[in-house]
Amino acid sequence: MPGQVTVLKEITQANSTLADALRTDFARQRVLVLDVIASPGAGKTTLLERTIELLRDDLRIAVIEGDPATSLDAERVAAAGVPAVQINTGGGCHLEARMVQSALGQFDAANLDVIVIENVGNLLCPTGWDLGEDAKIVVASLPEGDDKPLKYPMSFVSAHAVVINKIDLEPYIPAKVAKLRANALAINPDVTVFEVSCTSGQGLDAWVQWIRERVAQKRAG
Amino acid sequence: MPGQVTVLKEITQANSTLADALRTDFARQRVLVLDVIASPGAGKTTLLERTIELLRDDLRIAVIEGDPATSLDAERVAAAGVPAVQINTGGGCHLEARMVQSALGQFDAANLDVIVIENVGNLLCPTGWDLGEDAKIVVASLPEGDDKPLKYPMSFVSAHAVVINKIDLEPYIPAKVAKLRANALAINPDVTVFEVSCTSGQGLDAWVQWIRERVAQKRAG
């Protein structure tokens, strides 16, 4: 329907303009911004909790949590010891730059090293909305199946890193870590793939090292 | 943004009008129509495969598969021995009544007992789009966590049945079946909850019995 397309284009253009302005701010403030995208229940918040535990002594981190309802996730992240702002979209299926801008009022971004934005649990809609981030991270939960990059290619195409989570469950399910990795790389040959278990801690060192290196690059400007 | 709201309202109203027309057709044809909604990888297609195996000798079933990309799901369902049509939304986050209408051209609905529509893997967007179905089914995968009904209430509020899948993984994960059931009922006290494992087959008898009863009601008019 042409009317819908026109209006949607106006909205996404306004979003892109604001996201560019945020990106300029983040560059000046030398704060690394990550947009974490995944299906509901892929383990985004648990990955954040583990990541914060491993980095909070060295890096100043803040989190913006997007959810359709509840402040459960922001409470969990705040309990891990970093500032967290919850955005409730009221059913909305993705975060937009204006929501991030509004949440930023709660932080002094110039005194942060990393802002992690946990997007709404949705492997489709968040992909098209620039939030001014440096990198999009897709968390792919192994129990969801190893075919997800093929069936939901958009988020994998735009990802800078894919974190395969819940690898400790591999013995109990049909999905295979190696196949999920291969399918992610088939869709996006340049993506960096991590294999982790937030339960056992396996693989988290490589993931947080990647963040440390990105922070160092951002500081170097 | 008011422009967006107006245009979106026109589109959803056109969708509802068409969905009502489809519902009238389905009532005349006495075919039960189920709209299956879940996150990516919750096990919708596997549940369909098991359901077809248990019902195909007694009931005439057809499936409409919605996915952003690939025809992997329709191929799986067709291999289970029933007619299947794949709709690729090209990244679109939900099915709409016009897509279902178009897919119906592939079937003789008057000679079917059940049409199952497997919606795009997304716990948010499909909720607001009437497809003319008799019942919405939410498949909730236990490894996604037992808090999903609280964080994504919309799909649970509108569901007629919730199928808790992958219950065989309970020993290996923090999520609990009883808590997921309680959270689903807290959001929607009238919903029927099934607890199944498509791997072991546990709980599937009660689920297919529910479908049989719905088919009998639909035949009775």
> In chain B, which residue's Cα lies nearest the Cα of A73?
B151
Confidence of residue A1 (pLDDT cuts 50, 70, 90): very low
What value does the mean pLDDT take over residues B121-140?
96
Of B10, B121, B169, which has the smallest distance from its Cβ to A123's Cβ? B121
Contact A143 B166 (CB under 8 A): yes
pLDDT at B11 over 90: no
Phi and psi, residue A20, nearest 5°: -65, -40
Query: In this complex, do B121 and A121 lie within 8 Å of one another by their Cβ atoms?
Result: no
Q: Nearest residue on chain A to B38, judged by CA atoms?
A: A40
CA distance B124 to chain A (A): 6
Option in A1, A143, A169 nearest B11 (CB): A1
Place A2 in a pLDDT band, splitting at 50, 70 and 90. very low
Of B7, B121, B151, the CB nearest to A67: B151
What mean pLDDT do residues B177-203 have?
98
**Does residue B120 contact residue A124 with C-beta atoms inside 8 Å?**
yes
State the pLDDT at residue A11: 83
Of B18, B50, B127, B151, which to mutate for an interface test with A (greatest number of A Cβ within 10 Å)? Answer: B151
Question: Which of B13, B67, B86, B172 to mutate against chain A (most A CBs within 10 Å)?
Answer: B172
* Facing residue for A69 by CB, picked from B153, B172, B173: B153
- B9 has a pLDDT exceeding 80: no
- Asked whether residue B37 carries a pLDDT value surpassing 80, the answer given is yes
Q: What is the largest CA-CA distance in chain B?
A: 52
> What pLDDT does B139 receive?
98
**List of chain B residues whose C-beta atoms are within 8 Å of the C-beta of residue A75:** none
Mean pLDDT along residues A203-214: 98
CA gap B103, B100 in Å, rounded: 5
pLDDT at residue B75 greater than cutoff 80? yes
Averaging pLDDT over each range in A82-96, B2-16, B171-185, which range is the top one? B171-185
| Chain B interface, Cβ < 8 Å to A | 1, 3-4, 7-8, 10-11, 39-42, 67-70, 72-73, 91-93, 120-125, 127, 141, 143-145, 147-148, 150-154, 166, 168-169, 172-174
Of B69, B152, B166, the CB nearest to A153: B69
* Mean pLDDT, range B71-89, rounded to an integer: 94
**pTM for this model (two decimals):** 0.94
What count of CB pairs under 8 Å joins A to B?
130
Task: Note the pLDDT of residue B91.
Answer: 82
| pLDDT over 80 at A26, yes or no | yes
For residues A20-45, give the mean pLDDT: 97
Distance from CA of A111 to the nearest CA of B (A): 31
* Phi/psi of residue B68, nearest 5 degrees: -60, -35
Asked if pLDDT for residue B4 goes beyond 80, the answer is: no
Least confident of A10-19, A188-197, B184-193: A10-19
Res B8 pLDDT > 80: no
Q: Which residue in chain A has the smallest CA separation from B46? A: A145
The pLDDT, as a whole number, for residue B2 is: 39
Inter-chain residue contact A7 with B11, CB threshold 8 Å: no
Q: For residue A4, give the chain B residue with the closest CA.
A: B7
Q: State the CB neighbour count (10 A cutoff) for residue B47.
A: 23
Looking at residue B141, its pLDDT comes to: 98
| pLDDT of amino acid A181 | 98
Q: Is B143 exposed, middle or buried, given 0-12, 13-18 or 19+ CB atoms closer than 10 A?
A: buried
pLDDT at B6: 60
Confidence at residue A7, expressed as pLDDT on a 0 to 100 scale:
67
For the ranges B1-10, B51-60, B104-113, the lowest mean pLDDT is seen at B1-10
Q: Is B169 within 8 Å of A168 when comparing Cβ atoms?
A: no
Of the candidates B97, B113, B100, B125, the residue with the CA atom closest to the CA atom of residue B37: B125
pLDDT at A212 > cutoff 90: yes
CATH class of A2-220: alpha beta
Averaged pLDDT for residues A90-104: 94
pLDDT exceeds 70 at position A55: yes
User: What's the one-letter identity of residue B144?
Assistant: E
- Residue appearing with tokens 């495969």: B49
Ranges of each domain in chain B:
2-220
pLDDT at B12: 86
Quick one: pLDDT at residue B1? 38
Provide mean pLDDT across the span A137-148: 97
Judged by CB atoms closer than 8 Å, whether chains meet at B151 and A68 is answered as yes
Mean pLDDT of B143-158: 96
Local confidence band at B3 (pLDDT 50, 70, 90 cut-offs): very low
Rounded CA separation B13/B87 (Å): 22
> Alpha carbon A175 to chain centroid distance?
23
Range scoring the smallest mean pLDDT among A148-152, B10-14, B78-82 = B10-14
A80 band by pLDDT with thresholds 50, 70 and 90 = very high
Is the pLDDT reported for residue A3 higher than 50? no
Supply the DSSP string of chain B, one letter for each residue: -HHHHHHHHHHHHHHHHHHHHHHHHHHHHT-EEEEEE--TTSSHHHHHHHHHHHHTTTS-EEEEEEESS-SHHHHHHHHTTS-EEEEE-TT-SS--HHHHHHHHTTS-GGG-SEEEEE--S-SSGGGG---S-SEEEEEEEGGG-TTHHHHSHHHHHT-SEEEEE-GGGGGGSS--HHHHHHHHHHH-TT-EEEE--TTT-TTHHHHHHHHHHHHHHHHH-
